[in-house]
Amino acid sequence: MTAISAARAGIARHGEITRQALRAGRRALATWAAAFACMIAIYAVIWPSVRGNTSWRNLFDTLPQTYRALFTASGTIDLSTPAGYLGVELMGFLGPALIAVYAITAGSAAIAGEEDRGGLEVTLSAPVSRAQLLAQRFAALVIAVATLMIATGAALWIFSAMLGMGLGIGAIASGAAALGIFGLFCGAVAVAVGAATGSPGAARGVASLVAVASYLINALAQVTSALRPARPISPYYLVLGNEPLAHGLRMAGAVSVLAVAVALVIGGGVLFARRDLG
Amino acid sequence: MDSREPVVRTESLTKYYGRVLALNGLGLEVRAGEVMGFLGPNGAGKTTTLRLLMGYLRPTAGSATVRGLDTWRDSVAVHARTGYLPGDLRLWPRMSARAIAGHLARLRGCSHDPGTADLAKRLDVDLDRPVGELSKGNRQKVGVLLALLGDPELLLLDEPTSGLDPLVQQEFHRMLRERADAGTAILLSSHILSEVERVADRVAIIRSGRLLMLESLAGLRKKARHTVEVRFGSPPPPDAFAGVPGITDVRLDGSVLHCTMQGVVDPLIKALGRYHVLDLNSREADLEDAFLALYGEEAVQ
């Protein structure tokens, strides 16, 4: 093989598994993107009626601190601004929950799901290392989550403009990025556990547990002093705890959550390379 | 590299699943240009061996190499030389055979079409329908096509003809013969003796994780047993067939003789010629019987 054809072979291989994974998952991804856009549309359409409705706002104000902590990332509720309203409705619970469900589903399928159905043997019959496979499948997950968040951001931007919500592009980007990073973290846990164990059930279970725990730690830390020291280890708190739609993305939190996600995938990859395929 | 060097070599290859012994000290060589039939009942360790050779499993003890490359540590380099058909083939159901072949070709670094159309024609594969819509046999043909893609120098085929109709099997066997004649080393597992007989140069028989025997096909034929049933016009004397060479398990039921024959048929024919034969039935013992009979004691241990 000449150097040129070897280089060409390298380029042909480069990213092929990622492209294949995205091709295989494109329908699901399109459906999810549409679902996110619909969710944004519904919240946006309701916004004008919320803005003028002071009694609902008062109701929220009378809720006990625990309830408010569960509804929102930071415990403060300001329904008078679009960012505050969406912070409660979109960023507090449903947004992170949905993106986590998507990322955990896709992440557990990336290695463990396919291995469980016996599909990995065909891919790995090609000259591809397990580390390569894992890295490229994880890259596909990153691209898919980013795509979802771009769709979400675009929907936010369009409806904000249509309904005069006045959300800035920076605020929208921060909110979408924060949701995406949280989702990606949950997905990375699923990828890593799936790669390490080969069990899609374990991947989904552990990742869901981590997602829920990270949400609950943030919420309960606001009302229980015993849990307060644990709050900074919650990925939910680190990326969503400051209401990024209103106050921007906290870079330190975002970078550390992403770093842990990548470290988990690398750790999963090390175990993946050492074990028997199921 | 010397072409007489074996392409595949396993030494004391052993695999435990937890505490269950799946493969026990397998020593096997497959040379370039030969079809090695890998024969044994289900659960004997055939699939375990092939998955060890693919580096999907890590040997508990012993080693396996392909062209000197360790199958566990150098699995990527091994895969570059190997075409593999898994015993339990699972493909992406929504993709067509053409798309899957293209995907694997790109993973192998081929930018051009490596003969997909040609293979598809010979195997009668529908390249354009999603493989999920194909029958089991047609899906198996896709698997065979994927394994043969790009002319690998080693083929590891796990029960390749399961589900294939006889005509396609014949064509497939012809293709294997051509590949072998062109220097490809082929290891083909099966639990059916007649299939291996048609295509293999040598046969390795495995049972309960142990290699029972390694034979050329001619040697296997010599050892193959037939159960013979002969009906006579009148009952022959009770000891008429006692000393005939190659004949065992003689049982005379009035005018019907039951026996087992091994090797050359001539002595039996000569012995039968002295009597009036109405009917003669000879059936090749199936594999299970054959090696249970031959290696019964060892298999029990």
Distance CA B6, CA B154 (A): 11
Q: Above 70 in pLDDT, residue B286?
A: no
| Residue to test with chain A: of B89, B103, B131, most A Cβ within 10 A | B103
pLDDT of residue B300: 40
Q: How confident is the model at residue A129 (pLDDT cuts 50, 70, 90)?
A: very high
Pairwise CB contact (< 8 Å): A277 & B88:
no
CB of A64 within 8 Å of a chain B CB? The answer is no
Residue B199 and residue B37 in contact, taking contact as beta carbons nearer than 8 Å: yes
Q: Above 80 in pLDDT, residue A54?
A: no
Average pLDDT, chain B: 88
Report the pLDDT averaged over residues B41-53. 93
Q: Above 60 in pLDDT, residue B298?
A: no
- Token pair belonging to B270: 């000569």
Distance CA B88, CA B104 (A): 18
Least confident of A48-57, A156-165, B15-24: A48-57
Mode of pairing for the β-strands spanning B154-158 and B185-190: parallel
Q: Is B283 exposed, middle or buried (0-12, 13-18, 19+ CB in 10 A)?
A: exposed
Q: How big is chain A by its Cα radius of gyration, in Å?
A: 21
Q: Look up the ipTM and state it.
A: 0.85
Q: Above 80 in pLDDT, residue A67?
A: no
Pick from A93, A260, A246: which is nearest to A179 by CA? A93
CB of A10 within 8 Å of a chain B CB? The answer is yes
Least confident of A83-87, B44-48, B77-81, B151-155: A83-87
Pairwise CB contact (< 8 Å): A122 & B86:
yes
Nearest to B88 among A17, A118, A276 (CB): A118
CA distances from A230 to A76, A94, A121, A220 (A): 20, 23, 42, 10
pLDDT of residue B288: 54
pLDDT of residue A12: 47
Centre a 10 Å sphere on the Cβ of residue B284 and count the other Cβ atoms it contains: 15
Q: Above 80 in pLDDT, residue B54?
A: yes
Q: Above 50 in pLDDT, residue A218?
A: yes
Report the pLDDT averaged over residues A51-62. 74
Average pLDDT, chain A: 89
Higher pLDDT, residue B219 or A128: A128
Mode of pairing for the β-strands spanning B61-66 and B35-39: unpaired
CB of A161 within 8 Å of a chain B CB? The answer is no
pLDDT of residue B299: 43
Pairwise CB contact (< 8 Å): B80 & A127:
yes
Q: Above 50 in pLDDT, residue B301?
A: no
Q: Helix (H, G, I), strand (E, B), or coil: what is residue A251? A: helix
- Token pair belonging to A78: 């300001």
- Render pLDDT for A99-122 as a digit per residue (tens, 0 to 9): 999 999 999 999 999 999 999 999
Q: Which residue from A minimizes the CA distance to B142?
A: A122
Report the pLDDT averaged over residues B179-203. 90
pLDDT of residue B291: 57
Residue B66 and residue B156 in contact, taking contact as beta carbons nearer than 8 Å: no
| Residue to test with chain A: of B50, B54, B56, most A Cβ within 10 A | B56
Helix B116-123 vs helix B166-181: angle between axes, to the nearest 10 degrees? 140
Q: Which residues of chain A lie closer than 8 angstroms to B53, CB-CB?
A: none
Helix (H) and strand (E) counts in chain A? 15, 0
Distance CA B213, CA B50 (A): 18
**Edge-to-edge, what's the strand order for the sheet holding B277-284?**
B247-253, B256-262, B225-232, B277-284
Higher pLDDT, residue A3 or A257: A257
**Cβ neighbours of residue B163 under 8 Å, at least 6 residues apart?**
B136, B137, B139, B140
Q: Give me the sign of the Cα torsion angle B15, B16, B20, B25.
A: positive
CA distances from B59 to B51, B56, B107 (A): 10, 10, 26
- Render pLDDT for A178-209 as a digit per residue (tens, 0 to 9): 999 999 999 999 999 999 999 999 999 999 99
pLDDT of residue A4: 54
Report the pLDDT averaged over residues A162-166. 84
Q: Where are the alpha helices (DSSP H) in B61-204?
A: 75-81, 97-107, 116-123, 136-148, 166-181, 193-199
Matching residue, tokens 């997950």 = A141
Distance CA B174, CA B151 (A): 15
pLDDT of residue A208: 98
Pick from A158, A159, A181: which is nearest to A91 by CA? A181
Mode of pairing for the β-strands spanning B154-158 and B82-85: parallel
Nearest to A8 among B57, B75, B111 (CB): B111
Q: Above 50 in pLDDT, residue A81?
A: yes
Matching residue, tokens 């499948």 = A137
- Render pLDDT for B255-266 as a digit per residue (tens, 0 to 9): 999 998 887 888
Q: Above 60 in pLDDT, residue B90?
A: yes
Q: Above 80 in pLDDT, residue B11?
A: yes
Pick from B81, B189, B102: which is nearest to B146 by CA? B102
Distance CA B283, CA B193 (A): 13
Distance CA A22, CA A92 (A): 29
Strand partners, B282: B228
Higher pLDDT, residue B282 or A273: A273
Q: How big is chain B by its Cα radius of gyration, in Å?
A: 23
